[in-house]
Structure 1
């Protein structure tokens, strides 16, 4: 079975057991490690791998071909995207200062960018200037070096941005949770509807549970794909993004997804779709 997910610690932690043949009955995986912008586009093309990790914000474009799985993804609290700046723009600054600025985002169909657009509509009069898509690991250096005015960051940047001399303007997770009371749907696991999606969900869930039961087994695999990340940062990353919603979305998780995508459709930011397709 072909699968694509990021080399980030939460994904490699979740899928380590399955990738290494430790889940009884699960098929062998042929893994492609890819940035979220790439997997979002693969899913939208309909020609991507059988199983993918994509942004929840990309779901409305792919649900006719792919089913959302209830296990293996990233959804939680206190783990939202950050808007980072340098110089005089800081958390004390008026977000309106972003008006007309150049902002880098990790994907046009990322949950991070969708949250940013919802937030900016309320806080940045006239909107930002130019949006530039770049791999998430290139965003902080670009802000630091003055190539862009602000960056929307995800993943381990939450823990490492001070080392780049950057300032936090807004934690979009805090904004979203305060506005809706819901956790943040970040990364979804999807599988082609032509497959046995229940079995795939069960294997993903078993891989999550194996990872929790044997956290030391996946260490070398995680660090080998973590782009020279400090082990303590990798563990923080896992602790933040792998939680009970990763095991199973549950009613609260599905409600959060419906809230996000329903609001996005109302604002004209994503296509409208039948919300029953989420289950």
Structure 2
């Protein structure tokens, strides 16, 4: 049985519904793990899964063991992480601040470090992403870095958007934001076959958008169905079916900039 790990977020469950429910002809049976991106980033370092969803920011630690697949991941425009505070609008407030982040090997955190190079916080706390907004709201953290559906819900916590790192990245590079990647473990999964399976699952999801609704909501942490739909519409796009030249360029730009800044190691091998 092939092991597969991805997050319980709506974009992932929407994309992988067909593949994990026997709806892709020729695909194997899967042993599925649902895990936060920080868990998959770390577990993949040990080769824990045959196919796994990770942050693009984690690739420098993983490409010696895994191969990047050209589909199934999350890239896009207008979908970047946000920096939130209770009421501050000046980035200078981050100097000496405590900032909560969902992972220290996430694309979100890497973008944050590149953006905040002149306003280094005093402390970074890695916490589950669903605890970040409540923690900022109650004063546990001075600021929080949020991802996914938090784009649509942060106002409910009375929070203020200090920065949209996606807007900053796109203005700086003209490229989409490389958030989540799908990797195949070298020597255990045929990457061409895995690409075909995942693309077939994406096509099924688009052709039968209602088929996965119950599955998506069952894993969406009591998310409102309308928010789940917004989440899917934002993160499942043409790059999910095929990275293309722009997708690879975006990943290369992020990891090259980060390596030049000393934030990550250089890639151990090319992305393709």
The TM-score, its normalising length taken from structure 1, stands at 0.95
1:209 CA drift (Å): 0.6
Q: In 1, Cα distance between the equivalents of 2:126 and 2:198?
A: 30
SS of the aligned residue for 1:234 comes to helix
SS of the aligned residue for 2:161 comes to strand
Paired position in structure 2 for 1:199: 193
Alignment of 1:68-87 (within 5 A): 68-86=68-86
Q: In 2, Cα distance between the equivalents of 1:60 and 1:205?
A: 25
Give 5+ residue unaligned stretches, structure 1: none
Contact 2:60 2:268 in 1 (8 A): no
1:45 CA drift (Å): 2.5
Q: In 2, Cα distance between the equivalents of 1:190 and 1:33?
A: 15
CA deviation vs aligned residue, 1:22-80 (integer Å, no higher than 9, x gap):
0000001111100000000001223x111110000000000000001111000000000
Paired position in structure 1 for 2:31: 30
Q: In 2, Cα distance between the equivalents of 1:240 and 1:103?
A: 26
Asked if 1:271 corresponds to 2:251, the answer is no
1:274 CA drift (Å): 4.7
Q: In 2, Cα distance between the equivalents of 1:160 and 1:28?
A: 36
Asked if 1:114 corresponds to 2:114, the answer is no
Q: In 1, Cα distance between the equivalents of 2:178 and 2:250?
A: 7
1:135 CA drift (Å): 0.8
After the TM superposition, which segments of 4 or more aligned residues of structure 1 sit over 4 Å from their partners?
none
Paired position in structure 1 for 2:161: 168
Contact 1:55 1:109 in 2 (8 A): yes
1:275 CA drift (Å): 5.3
Paired position in structure 2 for 1:41: 42
Q: 1:259 aligns with which of 253, 257, 261?
A: 253
Q: In 2, Cα distance between the equivalents of 1:163 and 1:94?
A: 21
Paired position in structure 2 for 1:63: 63
Q: In 2, Cα distance between the equivalents of 1:234 and 1:109?
A: 25
Paired position in structure 1 for 2:149: 156
The TM-score, its normalising length taken from structure 2, stands at 0.98
Contact 1:258 1:275 in 2 (8 A): no
Q: In 2, Cα distance between the equivalents of 1:4 and 1:182?
A: 27
Q: In 1, Cα distance between the equivalents of 2:246 and 2:266?
A: 21
Instruction: Provide the aligned C-alpha RMSD in A.
Output: 0.8
Asked if 1:236 corresponds to 2:230, the answer is yes
Q: In 2, Cα distance between the equivalents of 1:206 and 1:261?
A: 29
Q: In 2, Cα distance between the equivalents of 1:38 and 1:79?
A: 22
Q: In 1, Cα distance between the equivalents of 2:144 and 2:208?
A: 36
Contact 2:63 2:269 in 1 (8 A): no
Q: In 2, Cα distance between the equivalents of 1:154 and 1:65?
A: 27
